[in-house]
Amino acid sequence: MDSPDAAASEGDGSAVVHECRNCGTNVSPKTTRCPVCDSDEIVTYPVD
């Protein structure tokens, strides 16, 4: 199972979140399917 990585940085100092759009579980950057609900709707967005 992949571990959450909500504090990952893209190199510009801003944090990003990788999250399942279906259930809201935070996942690691390379995750393609949610380990909780098996959805493939993984989104990435910056957090200010």
Residue 48 confidence (pLDDT): 84
Residue 12 confidence (pLDDT): 64
State the SS3 of the chain: CCCCCCCEECCCCCEEEEEECCCCCECCCCCCCCCCCCCCCEEEEEEC
Predicted TM-score of the model (pTM): 0.67
Q: Could you read off the pLDDT of 15-47 as tens digits, one per residue?
A: 999 999 999 999 999 999 999 999 999 999 999
Residue 40 confidence (pLDDT): 98
